[in-house]
Amino acid sequence: MTRDESPKMRTVESHFAVGVALIAAVMVLAGCSGGGFGAPKKEEPPTDPNAYPATYRTQIATFLRQSLTNRNDFRGASISAPTLKPIGNNQRYTVCVKFNPNSQIKTKVAIYFAGMISQFIDATPEQCDSAAYQPFTELQAALPPT
């Protein structure tokens, strides 16, 4: 011990060193347990890209209600049930929609990922030619006010 060090100073330094060692030990143990300092994280189940779009009719009616503004756009609407179709290198659920705005039949296709609409585009003949259409009553009910 040098002249400048007092026994009291040595005690403070040793307590500080013990505290640092305890904190380091706790951090190492927490890292090994995988829990970290917060609550343990729950692993999210992997997303199923081909989850069946159970609410497809409501989803499409809501989407079209926001994008179609003219009451004539909703005339003669019909919809197909979800069908797995090749989209690029993958299989995805698709739903075909037909409506008759201004006496011009339009065919659109909704492409789903994980049960939600990921695209709503003009349909190609391969996507919707064999579709079995049904009346799209949900879209008729979503007519904008006059």
Residues 72, 10: one domain?
A: no
pLDDT at residue 18, as a whole number:
54
pLDDT, one tens digit per residue, over 3-54 is 555 555 445 455 555 555 556 555 555 555 555 556 667 788 888 999 999 9
Residues 99, 127: one domain?
A: yes
Domain that holds residue 8: 1-43
- Number of independent structural domains in the chain: 2
Residues 124, 64: one domain?
A: yes
> What backbone phi and psi angles, to 5 degrees, belong to 134?
-130, 155
* Claim: this prediction has a pTM higher than 0.75: no
In a domain, 124, yes or no: yes
Length of the chain: 146
Q: Which residues pair with 22 in a beta bridge?
A: none
Look up tokens 């993958």; give the residue: 90
In a domain, 146, yes or no: no
Residues 22, 72: one domain?
A: no
